[in-house]
Amino acid sequence: MSDVRVIIQRDSEREERVVTTGTTAAALFEGERSVVAARVAGELKDLAYEVADGDAVEPVDITSEDGLNILRHSTAHVMAQAVQELFPEAKLGIGPPIRDGFYYDFDVETPFHPDDLKRIEKKMQEIQKRGQRFSRRAVSDEAARDELADEPYKLELIGLKGSAADAAEGASAEVGAGELTIYDNLDAKTGELCWKDLCRGPHLPSTRAIPAFKLMRSAAAYWRGSEKNPQLQRIYGTAWPTRDELKAHLEFLAEAEKRDHRKLGSELDLFSIPEELGSGLAVFHPKGGVVRKVMEDYSRRRHEEADYEFVNTPHISKEKLFETSGHLPNYADGMFPPLEFDGQNYRLKAMNCPMHNLIFKARGRSYRELPLRMFEFGTVYRYEKSGVVHGLTRARGFTQDDSHIYCTKEQMPQELDDLLTFVLNLLRDYGLNEFELELSTRDPESDKFIGEDAEWEEATEALRLAAEKQGLPLVPDPGGAAYYGPKISVQAKDAIGRSWQMSTIQVDFQQPKRFNLEYTAADGSRQQPVMIHRALFGSIERFFAVLLEHYAGAFPAWLAPVQAVGIPIGDGHVPYLAEFAAEAKARGLRIEVDSSSDRMQKKIRNAQKAKIPFMVIAGDEDVAAGAVSFRYRDGSQKNGIPRAEAIAEIVDAVERRVQV
């Protein structure tokens, strides 16, 4: 046997090692139980891979992003094997890893029932304990077709190999763009074939290496994401490196479910999405309307202080406007179909910027007017597919807090600095405090993006410099820019650590050019302004949903639809609390008195369920002393507070925007 030299790469450390021919990656990392694969020349390999002379081999830990994907994809294979053992007629779709888990699609006669998922999970546990080996082998297209002749969806994927379409809905995880490979699940003792699947891998060494998993739910899903294709049954699951991590994830999901804005919106009577209106179209109820108004009023005040000018634009426009802006050729799929009348096509407004450009262009502009900051709460309509519409966070009709700033190139750096600081401070005022920034740039290989290279470089560099001054993590997003310019997105973490995309800031040299926007410079020449797009909330509806989940419905007093409720110990105390409420309302507070026939303890429970910040209780002693007692949302209580002090405490909590 000859020797081969390999380099073992661990972060910045390199170790050269001489091993015999036929040595596997598993042997290189023997005893390192958390290593589940290897990376060789940038490619992920199974641990069964035999190293070659000159290979640089990097261990892939199960806790890394690649390691988690391998764990979850391997678990998806175990699930598919379990399904076909229990439901032999099931035909296989695809089974890629996804964020925090995996799924697999199946063509079955009857949709899966929750009891079916329990049976499948039990069968998976049996397969996991068998310790079946995942064994990779390369096959020709013809051989793959012969072996998978009974799997119509796999045959379709083989036909798609190497095409652009194979990336759809995770299909590339099955076939990739090179040679086809099949993974066999082999009996640990006999080597007998137990099951097989078309897959490019890599996989864990064996099913026993899967530490912890759970099936979550099933749902209908169109094959390869197209409504034109058959509807399959998709089973979702999750897998983790340890049982403790699985338990923590399930607890996180339970907490997220309790905070679901759709559930809270109904329980707290804030909003609804009536079937009569249509998917993705919400109505705000009186209490939700209060929260929304407070959000908008505070934002308006802050924008006035920052020298923004308020504008208003219609909900519909001639189609030509969106051709001029470039949205129609680049964004038609996201717009509702045209409406024809008066012999012309009109479109529901999907974005506000073209109309703001018309306001700028309505008369001559001087450099003395710049920067010109326009702001609008503008309602827009976007056609989202029914499968992605999700409550208020992905809607078809929503209101953007949209601003467009027109400035000179010389003003642009300072304007971006000030704008990003303004955005972050306003988000902090609403109770979000943990941020990272994402810089979305264009893909030079794509023809989606318009404009000259130099313009893109200048705009991108200006955004990058502004972002770096904030001292926050800056994450690259190659190819994620809008067709007309790069953007910074503010990613904010909520109370349970989820990241939400909030504000976006985009530098645009293209629309001013397309609309022939000009201003008169100090030397009398006509110059093109820079246009900065900015949505602070993103949309009011989505921001409302994020705050609702962030606070789990328990809004701070300044945002709460009802800031205090008066709870009388007996009916005779209602007039006293009515006087207190009148005084509080005179100070601008939102307060109600519960004069229902319910017992006091039920009134307290009702107020707790409604997540009202202050419960103001009054009995004989309080009336005699001209005082009230407070019961807070956390169950604590403070007694004998003089009425004026009680009102002052609520006012203080509102003005300081604190949680109580």
Q: Given this model, what pLDDT does residue 3 score? A: 87
- Average the pLDDT over 367-382 and give the result: 96
Q: Is the pLDDT of residue 594 over 50?
A: yes
- The question of whether 402 is a catalytic residue gets the answer yes
Pairing of strands 133-139, 180-186: antiparallel
- Average the pLDDT over 121-138 and give the result: 97
Pairing of strands 397-407, 530-535: antiparallel
Sheet of 474-478, strands arranged across = 309-310, 372-381, 397-407, 530-535, 499-508, 487-493, 434-441, 474-478
Cα separation values, 647 from 336, 504, 557, 576, Å: 50, 39, 13, 14
Q: Given this model, what pLDDT does residue 625 score? A: 94
Q: Given this model, what pLDDT does residue 473 score? A: 95
Q: Given this model, what pLDDT does residue 163 score? A: 52
Percent of the chain scored above 70 by pLDDT? Answer: 97
Instruction: Check whether residue 161 and residue 102 sit in a common domain.
Output: yes
Q: Given this model, what pLDDT does residue 435 score? A: 96
Q: Given this model, what pLDDT does residue 49 score? A: 95
Percent of the chain scored above 90 by pLDDT? Answer: 88
- Domain harbouring 591, CATH code: 3.40.50.800
Q: Which amino acid is at 112?
A: F
Instruction: Check whether residue 629 and residue 581 sit in a common domain.
Output: yes
Q: How far apart are CA 496 and CA 551, in angstroms?
A: 10
Q: How far apart are CA 374 and CA 29, in angstroms?
A: 60
- Domain harbouring 14, CATH code: 3.10.20.30
- The question of whether 620 is a catalytic residue gets the answer no
- Residue 54 falls in which region: left (phi positive, over 0), alpha (psi -120 to 50) or beta: left
| Helix ranges, 386-499 (H) | 412-429, 453-468
Nearest to 197 by CA among 132, 293, 251: 132
Under 8 Å between Cβ of 238 and 211: no
Task: Tell whether 493 is covered by a domain.
Answer: yes
Q: Is the pLDDT of residue 448 over 90?
A: no
Q: Which residue out of 161, 287, 347, 533 is catalytically annotated?
A: 533
Instruction: Check whether residue 229 and residue 82 sit in a common domain.
Output: yes
For residue 176, name the pLDDT band (cuts at 50, 70, 90): low
Instruction: Check whether residue 39 and residue 146 sit in a common domain.
Output: no
Long-range Cβ contacts of 42-50 (<8 Å, 24+ apart): 44/70, 44/201, 44/202, 45/202, 46/134, 46/136, 46/201, 46/202, 46/203, 46/205, 47/205, 48/24, 48/135, 48/136, 48/205, 49/24, 49/25, 50/21, 50/22, 50/23, 50/24
Of 526, 550, 574, which one is at a domain's C-terminal end?
Answer: 550
- Domain harbouring 168, CATH code: 3.30.980.10
Q: Tens digit of pLDDT for each residue in 193-223?
A: 999 999 999 999 999 999 999 999 999 999 9
For residue 241, name the pLDDT band (cuts at 50, 70, 90): very high
* Residue 396 burial class via C-beta count within 10 angstroms: exposed 0-12, middle 13-18, buried 19 and up: buried
Number of domains in the chain: 4
Q: Which residue out of 123, 349, 382, 611 is catalytically annotated?
A: 382
Instruction: Check whether residue 460 and residue 597 sit in a common domain.
Output: no
Sequence-ordered list of residues with C-beta below 8 angstroms from that of 529, at least 6 positions apart, any chain: 360, 365, 370, 406, 407, 408, 512, 517, 518, 519
Q: Is the pLDDT of residue 385 over 90?
A: no
Q: Say which DSSP state 366 is in.
A: B
Q: Which residue out of 55, 105, 402, 494 is catalytically annotated?
A: 402
Q: Is the pLDDT of residue 164 over 70?
A: no
Question: Mean pLDDT of all residues in the chain?
Answer: 93
Lowest pLDDT segment from 8-22, 117-131, 153-167, 551-565: 153-167
Q: Given this model, what pLDDT does residue 12 score? A: 79
C-alpha torsion angle, residues 215, 219, 225, 227 (rounded to 10): 170
Lowest pLDDT segment from 161-165, 292-296, 381-385: 161-165
- The question of whether 315 is a catalytic residue gets the answer no
For residue 179, name the pLDDT band (cuts at 50, 70, 90): confident
Tokens 């919400």, located at residue: 282
Cα separation values, 107 from 87, 269, 609, Å: 10, 40, 43
Pairing of strands 526-527, 499-508: unpaired
* Residue 351 burial class via C-beta count within 10 angstroms: exposed 0-12, middle 13-18, buried 19 and up: buried
- Domain harbouring 515, CATH code: 3.30.930.10
- Average the pLDDT over 271-296 and give the result: 96
Task: Tell whether 340 is covered by a domain.
Answer: no
Pairing of strands 499-508, 434-441: unpaired
Q: Given this model, what pLDDT does residue 190 score? A: 94
Task: Tell whether 344 is covered by a domain.
Answer: no
Q: How far apart are CA 332 and CA 619, in angstroms?
A: 64
Q: Which residue out of 214, 353, 494, 603 is catalytically annotated?
A: 353
Length of the chain as a residue count: 660
Task: Tell whether 141 is covered by a domain.
Answer: yes
Q: Is the pLDDT of residue 169 over 50?
A: no
Q: Tens digit of pLDDT for each residue in 508-549?
A: 999 999 999 999 999 999 999 999 999 999 899 999 999 999
Task: Tell whether 388 is covered by a domain.
Answer: yes
Q: How far apart are CA 333 and CA 120, in angstroms?
A: 39
Q: Which residue out of 72, 347, 365, 487 is catalytically annotated?
A: 487
Of 41, 61, 81, which one is at a domain's C-terminal end?
Answer: 61
Of 550, 572, 592, which one is at a domain's C-terminal end?
Answer: 550
Instruction: Check whether residue 72 and residue 183 sit in a common domain.
Output: yes
Cα separation values, 410 from 370, 414, 486, Å: 11, 8, 18
Q: Given this model, what pLDDT does residue 225 score? A: 85
- The question of whether 382 is a catalytic residue gets the answer yes
For residue 167, name the pLDDT band (cuts at 50, 70, 90): very low
Q: Tens digit of pLDDT for each residue in 392-401?
A: 999 999 999 9
Q: How far apart are CA 108 and CA 232, in angstroms?
A: 7
**Domain around 644:** 564-655
Q: Tens digit of pLDDT for each residue in 491-500?
A: 999 999 999 9
Under 8 Å between Cβ of 424 and 490: yes
Instruction: Check whether residue 453 and residue 599 sit in a common domain.
Output: no
- The question of whether 487 is a catalytic residue gets the answer yes
Instruction: Check whether residue 438 and residue 470 sit in a common domain.
Output: yes
Task: Tell whether 19 is covered by a domain.
Answer: yes
Q: How far apart are CA 607 and CA 635, in angstroms?
A: 11
Q: Which residue out of 154, 404, 534, 573 is catalytically annotated?
A: 404
Instruction: Check whether residue 238 and residue 294 sit in a common domain.
Output: no
**CA contacts within 13 A on the Cβ side of 328:** 17
- Average the pLDDT over 608-618 and give the result: 96
Q: Say which DSSP state 469 is in.
A: T
Tokens of 237: 């699951």
- Average the pLDDT over 457-480 and give the result: 94
Instruction: Check whether residue 25 and residue 114 sit in a common domain.
Output: no
Residue-wise DSSP of 194-207: EEEEE------SBG
For residue 175, name the pLDDT band (cuts at 50, 70, 90): low
Q: Is the pLDDT of residue 98 over 50?
A: yes
Instruction: Check whether residue 377 and residue 455 sit in a common domain.
Output: yes
- The question of whether 404 is a catalytic residue gets the answer yes
Cα separation values, 593 from 493, 566, 633, Å: 36, 4, 17
- The question of whether 510 is a catalytic residue gets the answer no
- Average the pLDDT over 247-275 and give the result: 96
Task: Tell whether 8 is covered by a domain.
Answer: yes
Q: Is the pLDDT of residue 653 over 80?
A: yes
Kindly report the number of other CB atoms within 10 A of residue 595's CB atom.
Answer: 16
Task: Tell whether 319 is covered by a domain.
Answer: no
Sequence-ordered list of residues with C-beta below 8 angstroms from that of 433, at least 6 positions apart, any chain: none
**CA contacts within 13 A on the Cβ side of 485:** 26
Q: Which residue out of 400, 411, 511, 563 is catalytically annotated?
A: 400
Residue 355, classed as helix, strand or coil, is: helix
Instruction: Check whether residue 43 and residue 114 sit in a common domain.
Output: no
